[in-house]
Each structure stands twice: as C-alpha cells, then as structure tokens.
Chain A
Amino acid sequence: MTSFFSLALDIGTALILLTTALSLVRLVIGPSLPDRVVAFDMMTVSIVAFCGLAAIRFDERAFLDVALALALVGFLATAALARFAERARKIDEKEAS
C-alpha cells in the first residue's frame, strides 16, 4: 500500500465525514420539513459512500452489501417522508375547515 493511496483514503474519508456533518447542520437548522428531508437524503447518500470507503479500508467486500441495503432503505425513507410531508398539510387543512 503506497503512501499516496493511504493518504487519499484518509483524506477521502475525512471529506465524506465532513459532508455528513454539514448535511447534519442543515438537518438541524432547516426551516421546514422538506428541507430536513432533503438534508436526510444527502446524509443517506454520503453514508452509502462511507460504506464504500470502509469496504476499501478494511478490505472487506461485505460493506458493499451494507451500502446496497442502505441505499434501498434510504430511498424508502425519503419517499415515505415526502408522502408524509404532503399528507400532513392536507390533514391540517381538513381539520381547519
């Protein structure tokens, strides 16, 4: 393992973790529910990338299966949260009228 490769692996892991942290900032300060769903989607995608990095770092192929399952679950969560954000408004309107 050359020094460039391990350095690139370290820097890439730090950058992906920084991506997750910045998305977490938007998840906390996001003014509305759809903003938070967008930030959550970005966090899921960056954690899938982190699983790929972990597969390279620990030389373990099973992390790619983890990444595949996480991408699937993340899409389901995003779709469900988007439906929820849409329906919560309609229920509010129905109760108000």
Chain B
Amino acid sequence: MIELIVGILILTGGAFGVLGAIGLIRMPDILIRMHASTKIGTLSCGLVVAAAAVHFGDWGTSVRAVLIIVFLVVTAPIASHMIGRAAVTTGVSLWRGAGPGAGRNDDR
C-alpha cells in the first residue's frame, strides 16, 4: 500500500515536471514562461519529496521533507518576483497576443 502511494506520488511529480518544462520551452514570453515553470516546478518537487517522506516514514525524514517543501513554497514567489521585475525593468520584449497587432513585439 505504501509502495502504491509512493509510486503514484513519484509518477505525478514527474509528469508535472515534464509539463512545466514543456511550458518553459513553448510559451512565447518570459512572464508566461515563469507562470508555467515556477509554480509547476514547485508542485513537482513537493510531490517527489513527499514521496520520499512517505517511503521512509520516520520523523527525521518527514521533518526534512516538510522543511524542503516550506522553503520552496516560501522562496519561489520571491525569486520569480525578482526575475519578473528584472525582466520588465530591463525591457525584455513582451508577447502581444493574438488578434489585431499580433506578432508585434513591444520595444520598451
């Protein structure tokens, strides 16, 4: 039973990781790419570390796993906020979307 739970957690984490990486490759613009990568990356890593905690099933491992997850959840928004601010202030060209004016990048 525990092995079933661990296997499902690992598979879910790996699948979310690949989805986030595909988003990182295919999205058109840095802010949209960050939207795909940071949140899904945190979710994938949290699922895999939770699988490790379930697999060992003792207090020391669980505390470490909870520390890793809390640290990731706390620092991912800070890091992505800093990168997003740096991208906007340095004037990376942003995606203008579909519709009239599509394909036109804005040069700030």
Q: Which residues of A are in contact with B by a Cβ distance under 8 Å?
A: 1-2, 4-5, 7-9, 11-16, 18-19, 22-23, 25-26, 32-35, 37-39, 41-42, 45-46, 48-49, 52-53, 55-56, 61, 64-65, 67-68, 71-72, 75, 78-79, 82-83, 85-86, 88-89
Interface string of B1-17 (1 = CB under 8 A from A): 00110111011011101
A39 touches B83 (CB 8 A): no
Chain B nearest Cβ from A50, distance in angstroms = 8
Q: Which of B10, B79, B80 contacts A56 (CB 8 A)?
A: B10
- Residues of B in contact (CB 8 Å), total 55
A23 to B92, CA, bound (A): 19
Tell me which residues across on chain B come within 8 A of A49, comparing CB atoms.
13, 17, 44-45, 48-49
Q: Which residues of B are in contact with A by a Cβ distance under 8 Å?
A: 3-4, 6-8, 10-11, 13-15, 17-18, 20-22, 24-25, 30, 33-34, 37-38, 41-42, 44-45, 48-49, 51-52, 55-56, 60-61, 64-65, 67-68, 71-72, 75-76, 78-80, 82-87, 89-92
Tell me which residues across on chain A come within 8 A of B24, comparing CB atoms.
22-23, 26, 38-39, 42
Chain A interface SS verdict (over half): helix
B63: nearest chain-A partner, CB-CB: A64
